[in-house]
Amino acid sequence: MRYHLVVAHYTRDKLPGRHWALAAVTRGNPWAEVYQIIGNTDSYGLEIKTVQLLRSGSLRGGFEVGEMDESQLDWLKDTLSKVEIKHNDPNWHCQSWVIDAVRELRQPEHSDKITIRPGITMQRIHDELAAEEENWEMGETTFLESLVNARG
C-alpha cells in the first residue's frame, strides 16, 4: 500500500494565518497519520496522531509533496521526530517546521524510503494551498477529499 505525504491546511480559531501539518494518507481510507507542531513559541512540540481527516471542520485542503510505501511509516515517524523544533523565535512556526521536514525528507540518503516531488518550495505550497482553500470555499472537491473518497 502506498502512502501519500500531504501538507494539510487548516484554519485556526481566533488566530491569523493557517496551520500546516504533514499527513500520511492512503487512497480511499478516511484515516491518516498526522504530524504537527502544537503549542506556543516557548512550548512547541511534535504531535503525532491518527485521525479521520475529513472530520475536521477546520481542514481546508492539502497538497501532495511525496509518496512512500506503508513499510516506511515507522521510519517516517522517527525521521520527523528528529526535525529541529525552534523555541522563542517569533518567526518560526508550524509552516517553518513543515518546510524543514520536507527539506530533510528530500535528502539523498532518504531516497530509498520516500519520493519527494520535484519543485516543492514554500511558495509553491502556499500557492497550491490557496487554490485548495478557494476550492473548499466554492464547494468544490479538494485534493484530500478526492484522495480519501477515492474507490479502489
pLDDT of residue 152: 58
Amino acid of residue 81: S
Number of helices (H), then strands (E), in the chain: 4, 6
Q: Is the pLDDT of residue 16 over 70?
A: no
Tens digits of per-residue pLDDT, 51-102?
999 999 899 999 999 999 999 999 999 999 999 999 999 999 999 999 999 9
Question: Starting at the edge strand that comes first in sequence, how are the strands of the sheet with 45-52 ordered?
Answer: 45-52, 31-38, 18-25, 2-11, 59-69, 114-116
Domain count, the chain: 1
Indicate the pLDDT class of residue 35, thresholds 50, 70 and 90: very high
48 lies in which domain range? 2-149
Tell me if the pTM is above 0.85: yes
Average pLDDT over residues 138-145: 94
